[in-house]
Structures are given as C-alpha cells and as structure tokens.
Chain A
Amino acid sequence: MIELNDEILNRYIDGELDQATLNKVRELLKNSEAGRFKLSMLQKVHSELGKLDSFEVSNNFTHVIMSQLQKKVKVVSKDRFFVFSISSVFLIIILFIISYLFIVSINNAGTSTQNLEEINNYVNVIANVSSSIKELMTPKNISIIGSILSFGIIITGYLFFENQRQARRNLSKLP
C-alpha cells in the first residue's frame, strides 16, 4: 500500500519512481486534496531552492592568494638554495679529504713495510676499543645508555616538531 508521504512525493519530484509506483501515486493524487497540497508545497520549495542566492568573495581575493603563493614559492626556492649550498660545501670538503689521502698514499707507496706496521697498529687500537666497549656492555649499562638515547631522541624529535610548527606558523602569517 502506497502512502502519499513526503518521502514518496520527494521521489516523485525527482523522477525516481518506477512506472508502476508512479501510476499508483498519480491515481492517489487525483483523489487526495491533502496529497496534492503537500506535493505543490514541495514543488514550490524545490523551485525556490533553484533560485538560491550565490555569495561573492571580495574583489582582490584572487590577487591575495596569488601573492601568497608567490611568496611561498620564493621561500621554498630559498630553502632549496640553502640546502644545495650546504651540501655542496660538504661535498667539496669530502672530495678534498679523499684527494689528499689519495696523494699521501701515492707518495708513501714505496714504504710498504712501514704501512703494514701502521695498519697493524690501527687494527690493535680498534681491537682494544672494541674489547673495552664489550666490557661496558653489561645489561645494566645497556639499559642506561638506551634510556639516555631514547631521551635524546624524544628531545630532538620535540625540538624538530616545534621548529616545523614555528616555520608553518610563520608561513601562514605571510600576508
């Protein structure tokens, strides 16, 4: 049994009813003044909503956003330049050290026995350091070192997060 309620009338307005239901609704509407009244009111609401007012932004809206974007792009490119220059400096220093070591090794190429002794000395030093580290690595010490490291990581993370937030705040303050 179909009832002429708001739901069915709304679907009638939107053309969502199948043919059989549509015929029944039409039949019911013929005999129901209350149904016709309800339908007319819903149709009026539907047509009035079609005349809905639009709101308009201020005149310089587009200009404001575009200038904000341009400033942001400038900041990003400045940051990129900074990172690039710092990385370049580090790269140059590393290249300089490698080439220095290379030149030194070429100059000392004749004294191979001396080199072997030096290498042995270095290996001994490394072995001593690793054995002393091994002695230090008791469960108690590991937990202490772990706690210190965790604390350090948390503090670093917090500072990094704060720094990011401050940077974002500064960006959003840009006119």
Chain B
Amino acid sequence: MKNLTDIEIIDSVKKGNQSDYALLIDKYKNKAFSLLVRMLKNEMESEEVLQDCFLKAFNSLDNFRQESKFSTWFYRIVYNTALTRLSAKKRKIETEMSSIDDHFELRSDFDFREAEQKDASKFIQKLIELLPPKYASVINMYYLDNMSCEEISNVMETSVANIKVILHRSRSALKDQLIKNNYAEELL
C-alpha cells in the first residue's frame, strides 16, 4: 500500500490516477460509516449513503481548495448527505436542526433484560443509539475520530460553543440515564 498524504493522493487522482482514490476510500470508509450508522441508525442504508458520498466527493475533488483538511471536507459531505437523507425520510429532524437550545430527553427504551446484565459499557453504547442524530454525530466525531471541537464545528457549520454545549448535554444525559438505571455502583 502506498504511503501518501491525503493531498498527495488527491493530486494524483486529479492527474488521472483514479485508482489512487481507493486509498482515500480505504482510509475513511469505516470512520465515515460509523458516523452514518450513528446518525441514520441503519447499517444497510448507511452503506448506501456512504457510496453516494464517496462518488460525490470524487466528482467534487476539483472544488476541494485545500483550505481545510480532506477529512473535514469529506465529513461535511457525509454529514450533509445524512441530513438530507433524514429529511427525505420525513423524520422529525427539524426540531433538532433549528436550535441548540432545544432540549432533548433521552428516553431509555432499553430492554430491561439486557439492563439486568449490569454491563455499563453496553448500556452506554445502547444509549448512544438513542441520541438524536446531531448529538450522536458530535459524540462520534469527538470520541471515535478524535476530532477537535473546531474541526467538528467546521463539519457541522456551527459555532464551537454549540458543539461544546451538544457534547456536554450528551454526557449529562448519559450520566442521568446511568444513575436512573442503577449503574452508579458498578462504575464507581
């Protein structure tokens, strides 16, 4: 496998070596897929959307000005495509998109039999599935992709302060659910 930077790969693709685009796909497919699964809550649909995103990115490579990282630019495509898909499916996302000040209540419809296993990690993973797409995407980018709040704000085209609020609210919501479901003793 060639050891090239994103910019070198893009330059090579632009020069006509289209097969080098596979390097970019291999590098970002699983990260972007995780983001999509957390937003769309469906693996098959996420894979389909991801294919669409890679094709879109390929067609728009000439528009990539290298002002930001390729990952940020590509994640913006993924995030916006996921939002479009969500609104196309007429899920009630408008309320989430309108303002960060809107509150969400993390209702745990987690199967109680699973909860009895007293596995806090699994419980948290399950709770993340219940987070609204915007919150789940911030959690995914921050913790899984190790992106900074600045980078996430560029992807989501919002302020850094909003990203921090989303991050903090998500943590607090998860903490409240852990306490509510008696996981405190296990964790402490």
Residues of A within 8 A of B (CB): 6-7, 10-11, 14, 16, 37-38, 40-42, 44-46, 48-58, 61-62, 64-66, 68-70, 72-73
Contact yes or no, B47 A50, CB < 8 A:
no
Q: Chain A nearest CB: distance from B129 CB in Å?
A: 11
Complex Cα gap A54–B125 (Å): 11
Which of A41, A68, A73 is in CB contact (< 8 Å) with B175? Answer: A41
Contact yes or no, B25 A41, CB < 8 A:
no
Task: Point out the residues of chain B lying under 8 angstroms from A45, CB to CB.
Answer: 124, 171, 174-175, 178
Contact yes or no, A49 B171, CB < 8 A:
yes
Q: What class of interface size applies to chain B in its complex with A? A: 35 or more
Chain B residue with minimal CB distance to A68?
Answer: B55
Contact yes or no, A65 B25, CB < 8 A:
yes
Complex Cα gap A42–B174 (Å): 8
Which of B120, B140, B184 is in CB contact (< 8 Å) with A48? Answer: B120
Contact yes or no, A57 B47, CB < 8 A:
yes
Inter-chain contact total with CB atoms closer than 8 Å: 104
Known: A44-B178, A68-B55. 17 other contacts (CB 8 A): A10-B172, A41-B175, A44-B188, A48-B121, A49-B139, A50-B143, A52-B139, A52-B140, A52-B143, A52-B144, A54-B30, A55-B46, A61-B29, A65-B51, A66-B19, A69-B58, A73-B18
B179: Cβ under 8 A from any A Cβ: yes
Which of B18, B187, B188 is in CB contact (< 8 Å) with A69? Answer: B18
Q: Chain A nearest CB: distance from B165 CB in Å?
A: 9
Contact yes or no, A44 B143, CB < 8 A:
no
Task: Point out the residues of chain B lying under 8 angstroms from A54, CB to CB.
Answer: 30-31, 34, 144
Complex Cα gap A46–B178 (Å): 12
B70: Cβ under 8 A from any A Cβ: no
- Known contacts A52-B140, A55-B33, A66 near B22 by CB under 8 Å: yes
